[in-house]
Chain A
Amino acid sequence: MTNPTKMRASAKDGVTEVRVLMQHDMENGRRKDEGGNVIPAWYITEIQAQHNGKTVLDGQFGTSVSKNPYLIFRFKGGAIGDKITLSWLDNLGEKRSDEVAIS
């Protein structure tokens, strides 16, 4: 079960700024639960953002990214109403894609 990524994209002066909040535990595999059992590693390994089908950011994550990864990036162009898609893939093979329109 994965939860939707929260996203906001705004275009200003020819540049679009995208703010992203992915919903993911980002467990590094070293933490223990209350019973002293190691919580298995579970984290996002790849992210990709696309603007109207063109890749605008490609990223790889390790376990040192905070829980519920937060990200801001900017690219040139983008008009109000254009679609931004953010996709992620985690180390257990879970994946999801979410979309937002530039406002």
Chain B
Amino acid sequence: MINMERRKALKTGGGLGLLGVFALLGLTPGIVWASVGRAAFEAKSLNEAFEALGVLTPENSALIQLTTPDVAANGAVVPVTVECQLAGTEQIAILIEKNPTMLAASFVIPEGTEGYISTKIKMAQTSAVIALVKVNGKFYRASREVQVTAGGC
């Protein structure tokens, strides 16, 4: 009984501490930013980016649908859609092989959210666009070549 009370007190205390930290940082309570390292965004090669994301050798998978235009007239705005119907999709990342910053975006997909992301990226030049999807702890990739007529970075 005493122990229970102590636990409760500790929990409350801890909660308040966390709120205090948020207040110090000026963040709205309730928003906890995913503190995944940003090393992957600094990667200078595809292998470095994969390594920073914790990927060894992603398998090619036909279960990932990557939709991009074949030719992008304006490299500043290239629509990309990644869709993975497999249950247990945990993460979706979009990389552009020949961009100075290869990793465009990485999304954590909580349970209940579908394995679907549609966004727009910048491309400096003609390059492969790679979708990296983590399903049940395992990484898969899909890749498509996009011709860029006017780079926009």
Contact = CB atoms under 8 A, between A and B. Distances in A.
Contacts of A74: 113-114, 116
A56 B103 contact: no
A79 interface: no
Contact of B110 (A26, A46, A55, A72): A55
Interface in B34-60: 34, 36, 38, 41
Contact of B30 (A50, A70, A77): A50
Contact of B113 (A30, A45, A66, A73): A73
B31 interface: yes
B64 interface: no
Contact of A60 (B41, B116, B123): B41
B19 interface: no
B68 to A, nearest CB: 13
Interface of A: 15, 26, 28, 30-31, 45-46, 48, 50, 53, 55-67, 69-77, 87, 89, 95, 97
B122 interface: yes
A39 to B, nearest CB: 12
Main secondary structure of the interface of A (DSSP, over half): strand
Given A45-B38, A64-B99, A97-B28, A73 B33 contact: no
B135 interface: no
A58 B100 contact: no
A90 to B, nearest CB: 12
Contacts of A50: 30-31
A58 B110 contact: yes
Contacts of A26: 122
Nearest to B95: A64
A64 B99 CA distance: 8
Nearest to B91: A58
Interface in B102-146: 102-110, 112-114, 116-123
Given A59-B108, A65-B121, A75-B112, 4 more contacts: A53-B30, A56-B113, A60-B38, A75-B113
B103 A66 contact: no
A78 to B, nearest CB: 10
A58 B93 CA distance: 12
